Structure 1
Amino acid sequence: MNLPNVLTMLRIFMVFIFVSLLPHEGLSFKVSALAIFIIASLTDFFDGYYARKYNLITSFGKIMDPIADKFLVLAAFYMFTLMVFIPIWMFVVIALRELLLTGLRLIAVRHGIVLAAEGMGKVKTVLQMGAIISFLIFLILIELVTKGRCPEIYALRVYLWSYTLMFFVVGITVFSGMAFLWNNRRNFQHVR
């Protein structure tokens, strides 16, 4: 197993750590969850970078990398839904888009067709990661508020920012998914 594939598997493992840390009260749990999420997100960048730079692209990586990416993002949004930070409809819209497009990409890979990520998809990923990090910062601020180390207004502002950002996340998630389907419609004709 090469380095990019190890990073992909590490990302999947880190999702379980992230999800186990998030529900616990305490500043150290929230800071650790944020750190784990950021490190896991960075493995997404580095596995692709090393795979392309050193020609270490494998069938395993083509399949597992997008699965690991979606697993990380969907796990975070699912946890935020359980914590009642975002409404369930937002999670459902994001999950349906991610699962549909990832499924189509995996089917295309099995037919030897590579459906490359588009610019709008990269913007979507950045917004999703930004929203997740913003909610994690909110959780840290809440811990600080309970200890009297942070004014409540700061936590409220971060929450309102995070929640507002989620509408942009949902919008770009839907729009980028539709654009991806439209731009790859000819490729899908070959995948039957």
Structure 2
Amino acid sequence: MNLPNRLTLLRMILAIPFIYFLGEAETHGIAFRITALIIFAVASITDFFDGYLARKHNLITDFGKLMDPLADKILVISALVIFVDIKYIPAWMSIVVIAREFLISGIRTLAAAKGEVIPAGNLGKYKTTSQMIVIILMMILGDNPYNFYMMLIPVILTVWSGWEYTVKAKHYFLNMK
């Protein structure tokens, strides 16, 4: 397994302690929130480096094309679900993001059944980056009235990138039996 793929796996593993510390931060205080923030920041940095290293050293694999976006989804969705639970954002924002991820995963499954792998596009990468930045900001700022407005940016990019992805993949739907 190459280094970019190991970084992707590390991001998936880091989701476990991240979920624990962020989920318990309201009960146990600032130390847990800071720990969650550090874990999330490290995991987010691995997202940049796994892609950078894979492209720079021609280490792009089908595993990375499939698992890198999945690792991002696990990390981001975990944060959003907890943010809904602690009332940082309304549930509908999290549901929009999760629904888009299910839709895209379904499209990727259809593609995989035809022997194709669909890598993340630029708009999807911007969406993920904006989600990670907003999640970090929410962990830094805590509960505040701006969380809703900050989260609007990734929600809009989520809908936009989901639409773009679906339009590009419409042939998978049209050729279904």
TM-score in terms of structure 1 length: 0.80
Task: Give the paired residue count.
Answer: 174
Match of 1:132 in 2: 135
Alpha-carbon shift at residue 161 of structure 1 (Å)? 2.4
Is the CA contact (8 Å cut-off) linking 1:108 and 1:188 kept in structure 2? no
Match of 2:4 in 1: 4
Q: 1:119 to 1:59 in 2, by over 3 A?
A: closer
CA distance in 1 between counterparts of 2:165 and 2:108 reads 11
Alpha-carbon shift at residue 21 of structure 1 (Å)? 0.7
Q: Name which of 132, 138, 157 aligns with 1:172.
A: 157
CA distance in 1 between counterparts of 2:152 and 2:34 reads 25
Instruction: Output the aligned Cα RMSD.
Output: 2.1
Match of 2:20 in 1: 20
Letter of the aligned partner of 1:169 in structure 2?
A: P
Q: 1:70 to 1:26 in 2, by over 3 A?
A: same
Q: Name which of 24, 32, 36 aligns with 1:33.
A: 36
TM-score in terms of structure 2 length: 0.86
Quick one: percent identity of the two aligned structures? Answer: 44
Moved over 4 A (4+): 187-192
Q: How does 1:144-155 map to 2 (within 5 A)?
A: none
Q: 1:191 to 1:5 in 2, by over 3 A?
A: farther
Alpha-carbon shift at residue 108 of structure 1 (Å)? 1.7
Where structure 2 has 5 or more consecutive residues not aligned to the other structure, the ranges are none
Alpha-carbon shift at residue 118 of structure 1 (Å)? 2.9
CA distance in 2 between counterparts of 1:84 and 1:70 reads 20
CA distance in 2 between counterparts of 1:61 and 1:116 reads 9
